């Protein structure tokens, strides 16, 4: 009788091992990670000495995967796994717990500083180039760590804390390591509280548009308004858009929030003089949502607002996430007469390249350059260069953050056509904006003479 083929002679131990193993990298998986932590907690039950765990996420892996292909992406993940495994000592463990997310356990690390230093070494190891066929690729990574201190903490609790720290690390920039702290937990609870209140406010229609004037710098005639979201909660009070907009973006609320504010803004702007335009910001996540264009057009149709009076502002950061998707959305909007502006120009990483790839109608000079135009020669030269470039490209220009007459005068000298800032008006609600327009209509336009 012939022996059974090797491939069918699998034991229960083999099957169990497969269940704890990541098929691509050969590392342990999430089940292995939790099992290791649970065993360590049991071993230290009578004397709960600290130990550290961490979660490491590859920064920018998706674009590399898209550029080189899925097979190359898998090869890079295997190389990452080899490097991480080689960096572990005999007591430590590394596992793969997500597509490009790895977790590690350091039983003999007893302090936050030691965890931070060990993890920084991992990030440094991963930063060396990766061979992909005849090409090379580079990656960075971010990591969050947490420490076990008491028997009340479970493997799930420790992982949640490490994930919270990882979230903070990715917000602070690539290549960062953050160790979980009690303050971080309090901040996370506050974010969750704001998120829940914001969801209720969006559902109830309680977020309002405010409008800031945009003027012709030479005549000071108002030519349009930028829409800015404002929210006051009955318990939290006024919440800064610098707080709730990032939360809306990160927690998936930005789409409904944006649609609510655009609907209210276009309803208000319908009653303005027809020569005034309305400017509205799109978030980075909306530029990767293929439904964004249809949603905007649907709102304009319902409110009866002329698409030719709408300008959409997008940032360079938003374009970088998925340039192909952003380009389709921009083309769809421009096709019906909506103008598109590039906001915060000069603060991104590849602005000139974006101007070549996308067709913009307007460019907005970031306030960082405007604020220092009177006493910083480099800022002055940068603004002059931007204006010359836009003239050559046939693009309108608006300078943001103008707060002083001297700044406005200098910009007029340089040939800048549009301006926005507290000098001309602060953001105000729809009723106050109508009052502003009535007052403006009663005054003749002022032609500034700059000597």
Mean pLDDT of 392-412: 95
Does residue 10 register a pLDDT over 60?
no
What pLDDT, on a 0 to 100 scale, did the predictor assign at position 450?
A: 45
Mean pLDDT of 383-408: 94
What pLDDT, on a 0 to 100 scale, did the predictor assign at position 223?
A: 97
What pLDDT, on a 0 to 100 scale, did the predictor assign at position 446?
A: 59
The active-site residue out of 249, 391, 400, 403 is 400
Give DSSP secondary structure letters for 199-268. HHHHHHT--EEEEEEEEETTT--EEEEEEEEEEEETTTEEE-HHHHHHHHHHTT-HHHHHHHHHHHHHHH
Task: Supply φ then ψ for residue 87, to 5 degrees.
Answer: -85, -10
* Distances, alpha carbon 5 to alpha carbons 2, 8, 13, 18, 150, in Å: 9, 6, 18, 19, 50
| Range of lowest pLDDT (28-42, 287-301, 315-329, 372-386) | 315-329
Alpha-carbon distance of 111 to 414, in angstroms, equals: 57
Sequence-separated (6 or more) residues with CB below 8 Å from residue 256: 202
What pLDDT, on a 0 to 100 scale, did the predictor assign at position 229?
A: 98
Angle, helices 70-87 vs 112-126, to 10°: value is 140
Give yes or no on whether 6-180 and 194-442 have one common fold: no
pTM of the model: 0.73
Mean pLDDT of 324-333: 89
CB 171, CB 137: distance < 8 Å: no
Q: Angle at CA 102, nearest 5°, toward 96 and 108?
A: 105
Could you name the CATH architecture of 6-180? 2-Layer Sandwich (3.30)
Q: Sorting pLDDT into bands at 50, 70 and 90, what band is 57?
A: very high
Alpha-carbon distance of 348 to 220, in angstroms, equals: 30
| Range of lowest pLDDT (11-15, 234-238, 311-315, 440-444) | 11-15
Given the structure tokens 């340039």, which residue do they identify?
A: 323
Closest listed residue to residue 365, CA positions, set 393, 396, 334? 396
What size, in residues, is the chain? 451
Other beta carbons within 10 Å of 271? 10
Q: Sorting pLDDT into bands at 50, 70 and 90, what band is 425?
A: very high
Other beta carbons within 10 Å of 375? 8
Domain boundaries, the chain: 6-180, 194-442
Q: Sorting pLDDT into bands at 50, 70 and 90, what band is 267?
A: very high
In this prediction, what percent of the chain has a pLDDT beyond 90? Answer: 70
Other beta carbons within 10 Å of 364? 25
Alpha-carbon distance of 279 to 428, in angstroms, equals: 14
Does residue 3 register a pLDDT over 70?
no
Number of H helices, E strands in the chain: 17, 16
Q: Angle at CA 73, nearest 5°, toward 71 and 74?
A: 65
CATH topology classification for 194-442: TIM Barrel (3.20.20)
Alpha-carbon distance of 30 to 12, in angstroms, equals: 20
CB 417, CB 397: distance < 8 Å: yes
Does residue 290 register a pLDDT over 70?
yes
Predicted confidence (pLDDT) per residue in 92-149, tens digit: 999 999 999 999 999 999 999 999 999 999 999 999 999 887 888 888 999 999 999 9
Mean pLDDT, the chain, integer? 90
Q: What is the dihedral of CA 105, 107, 113, 117, to 10 degrees?
A: -50
208 noted as active-site residue: no
Q: 51-59 and 101-106: which strand pairing?
A: antiparallel
Does residue 407 register a pLDDT over 50?
yes
């Amino acid at each position: 009788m012939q022996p059974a083929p090797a491939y069918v002679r699998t034991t229960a131990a083999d099957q169990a091992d497969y269940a704890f193993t990541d098929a691509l990298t050969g590392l342990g998986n999430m089940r292995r990670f939790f099992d290791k932590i649970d065993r360590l907690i049991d071993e230290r039950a009578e004397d709960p000495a600290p130990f550290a765990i961490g979660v490491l996420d590859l920064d920018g892996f998706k674009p590399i995967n898209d550029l080189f292909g899925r097979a190359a992406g898998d090869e890079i993940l295997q190389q990452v796994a080899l490097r991480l495994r080689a960096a572990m000592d005999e007591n430590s463990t590394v596992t793969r717990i997500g597509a490009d997310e790895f977790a590690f356990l350091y039983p003999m690390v007893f302090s936050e500083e030691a965890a931070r230093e060990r993890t920084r070494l991992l990030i440094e190891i991963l930063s060396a180039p990766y061979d992909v066929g005849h090409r090379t690729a580079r990656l960075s990574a971010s990591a969050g760590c947490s420490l076990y201190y008491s028997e009340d903490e479970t493997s799930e609790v420790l992982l949640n804390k490490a994930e919270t720290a990882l979230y903070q690390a990715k917000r602070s920039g690539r290549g960062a390591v953050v160790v979980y702290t009690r303050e971080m937990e309090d901040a996370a609870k506050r974010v969750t509280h704001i998120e829940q209140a914001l969801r209720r406010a969006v559902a109830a229609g309680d977020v309002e548009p405010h409008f800031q004037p945009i003027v012709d710098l030479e005549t000071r005639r108002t030519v349009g308004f930028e829409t800015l979201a404002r929210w006051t909660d009955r318990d939290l009070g006024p919440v800064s858009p610098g707080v709730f907009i990032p939360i809306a973006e990160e927690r998936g609320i930005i789409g409904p929030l944006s649609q609510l504010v655009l609907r209210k803004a276009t309803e208000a702007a319908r009653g303005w003089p027809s020569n005034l335009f309305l400017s509205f910001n799109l978030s980075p996540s909306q530029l990767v949502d293929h439904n964004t264009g249809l949603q905007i057009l649907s709102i304009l149709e319902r409110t009866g607002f002329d698409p030719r009076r709408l300008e959409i502002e997008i940032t360079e950061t938003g374009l970088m996430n998925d340039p192909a998707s952003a380009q389709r959305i921009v083309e769809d909007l421009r096709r019906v007469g909506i103008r598109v502006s590039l906001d915060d120009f000069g603060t991104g990483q590849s602005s000139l390249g974006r101007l070549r790839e996308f067709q913009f109608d307007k460019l907005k000079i970031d306030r960082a350059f405007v604020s220092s135009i009177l006493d910083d020669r480099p800022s002055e030269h940068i603004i002059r260069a931007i204006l010359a470039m836009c003239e050559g490209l046939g693009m309108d220009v608006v300078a943001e953050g103008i707060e002083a007459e001297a700044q406005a005068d200098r910009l007029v000298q340089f040939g800048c056509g549009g301006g926005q800032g507290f000098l001309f008006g602060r953001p105000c609600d729809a009723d106050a904006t109508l009052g502003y327009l009535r007052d403006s209509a009663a005054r003749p336009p002022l032609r500034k003479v700059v000597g």
